[in-house]
Structure formats: C-alpha cells, structure tokens
Amino acid sequence: MEGQPVPKVTFKKRVRDESIGMFHPSPEEVNPFKWIDVTTADIFLGSRVLVFALPGAFTPTCSTYQVPGFVEHREAIKANGIDEIYVLSVNDSFVMRKWMLDQDAFDKIDFIPDGNGEFTEKMGMLVDMSAVCFGKRSRRYAMIVDNGVIEKMFVEPDATEDDPDPYGESSPESVLDYFEMMKADVVYG
C-alpha cells in the first residue's frame, strides 16, 4: 500500500453546533448536533497526517494503550512534520464521540467513524472478528499519509492463539522510531 493513494470515501460524522436550538423555548431539551460529511480529501489532501486504526472503541488495548499513547506522544509526533493525528475505527459517530470524551482526547487527536467499514475494506484492512462477537472490524495498523499518498504503513501481525491481540508495530513508539530512522538516513545516507 505504501506509495498508493488512500481510498476515496465519505465519512458521516456528528458535530456539535451551538446554533441549533439557540432560540428554542427550552434549549436544554435540544440536541445541538448535526450530521456532516467528511471526505478523505478533507482529511488527507494538502497535509501530512498520521492515522491509527484499531478494532473497536472502549476495547482494552485500544483504550488502555493505543489512544492514550498517541495522545501522550502527539507533540513529539507533530514535531516530525505531522499536521494531524486521527484514530479510525469501524464504529458509529455516536460511539466514537463518547469514546473521545471518555479518553479525554477532545482537541488532542481527531476520531474518524468508519461506521460501515467502507474505508477499512478499501484499505484491505477489514477483518472478520465474529469469533469474539465483534463482526467485521479494522485490523490494528497505523499509517503516515502525505497529501493523500500512503508514505508508511505499520501493520500488526495476525492474531494467534498465543497472542490474540498483537500490539507493538502500530504503537506511537514504533512511529517515533520510524521518524528517528528517517533522520538517521538523512544524516548518514
């Protein structure tokens, strides 16, 4: 996938809009959110971004290590020419928003709901996790995308009986190691 453009899809996202219900007689009864379309062009074109994808919101590895790790290391990652950091999961917008708030990640990293798994499937990263009642989900991976083209992929190996939830290749530490390796290549050729 490295060197290839990201798939073209449109994500459906719920965002807060304070103007909704502003003049309602009981504003506390109004749900101040609206649906917006966010395209892959909106996310990827004209910038260099890091996306990390994972099997599901509120799951142990994703909530204990992966999201907190990328939040913790976001400044170091951005110092390496990354404009934005996104987490993507095959979950709906409502779940992703609640998870973002639960992870105290609002305004730190952005959450992309791939509710139907369309982007994940086009990336070749959709896996069947029916054995653990998850249905179809994303394989755990991270990628650096520069102006819509995949620069680097960090893909976890397949799950095994000994390691049912591999995590390491797509960690923020692996991404930072990649940046250090790239700097060394520039310095030492």
DSSP 8: -
The beta-strand segments (E) located in 62-173 are 84-89, 110-113, 126-128, 136-138, 141-146, 149-155
Q: Could you give the CA distance from residue 78 to residue 107 in angstroms, rounded to a whole number?
A: 14
Q: Which of 43, 51, 57, 62 is catalytic?
A: 62
Beta strands 84-89 and 48-54: pairing type?
parallel
The neighbour count for residue 19, using CB atoms within 10 Å, is 8
Rg, C-alpha atoms of the chain = 18
Could you give the CA distance from residue 37 to residue 108 in angstroms, rounded to a whole number? 21
Q: Is 62 a catalytic residue?
A: yes
**Catalytic site positions:** 62
